[in-house]
């Protein structure tokens, strides 16, 4: 089955601005708490066992992530576009793989892809190239393998 998702517009300016905000957030977190803004690491440490006393801060960070679209809704009166094409089994399988893989590999798009690459970490560059390749290969199989 060659299913093609919804076509999305190329948004270089909005995406660059969004990227700058993500970078500013990572820099502020480092300046304040001395920690890498890696969402998978932050989220995984919300689960037991607890090895330090940073739970409140981590929870607050994740709550901020969740609150962002609500702020947009409040400011603009409507939510931005979001299309999730996947059905239930795929959501469960993909969610599990994303969670397991990101923690097993010590990071995801934010920890490796942004912070690690910005620190010129070889491990993070290898990780980032790996998930880009398997991500693209998965999309290729899902959409063009028929």
Partner 1 sequence: MMAAFLQFGIGLVFGLGLVASGMSNPAKVLNFLDFGAIPAGTWDPSLAFVMAGAVVVTYVGFRAVLSRSRPIFAERFFLPTKRELDLRIVVGPAIFGIGWGLVGFCPGPAFTALGFGSRAAFIFVAAMLLGMGLARLLSILPRLSRLVAPADPLET
Among 1, 53, 77, 99, binds partner 1 (CB under 8 A): 99
Q: How far is the CB of 77 from partner 1 (least distance, A)?
A: 15
Is 50 near partner 1 (CB under 8 A)? no
Among 50, 74, 110, 146, binds partner 1 (CB under 8 A): 110
Is 1 near partner 1 (CB under 8 A)? no
Is 4 near partner 1 (CB under 8 A)? yes
- Check: CB of residue 115 under 8 Å from CB of residue 36: yes
- Check: CB of residue 94 under 8 Å from CB of residue 86: yes
Residues 10-49 contacting partner 1, CB under 8 A: 10-12, 14-37, 39-40, 43-44, 47, 49
Other Cβ atoms closer than 10 A to 78:
8
Q: How far is the CB of 87 from partner 1 (least distance, A)?
A: 9
Is 74 near partner 1 (CB under 8 A)? no
Q: Which of 106, 104, 111, 113 is nearest to 131 (CA)?
A: 113
What three-state secondary structure class fits 74? helix
Residue 68 buriedness (CB in 10 A; 0-12 / 13-18 / 19+): exposed
């Amino acid at each position: 089955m060659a299913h093609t998702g919804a076509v999305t517009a190329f948004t270089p300016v909005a995406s660059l601005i969004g990227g700058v905000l993500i970078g500013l957030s990572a820099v502020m977190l480092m300046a304040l708490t001395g920690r890498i803004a890696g969402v998978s690491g932050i989220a995984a440490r919300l689960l037991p066992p607890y090895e330090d006393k940073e739970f409140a801060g981590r929870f607050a960070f994740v709550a901020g992530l969740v609150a962002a679209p609500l702020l947009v809704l409040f400011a603009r009166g409507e939510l931005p576009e979001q299309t999730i094409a996947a059905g239930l089994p795929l959501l469960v399988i993909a969610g599990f793989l994303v969670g397991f893989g990101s923690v097993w590999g010590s990071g995801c798009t934010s920890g490796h892809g942004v912070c690690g690459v910005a620190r010129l970490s070889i491990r993070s560059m290898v990780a980032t190239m790996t998930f880009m390749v398997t991500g693209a290969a998965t999309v290729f199989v899902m959409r063009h393998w028929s």
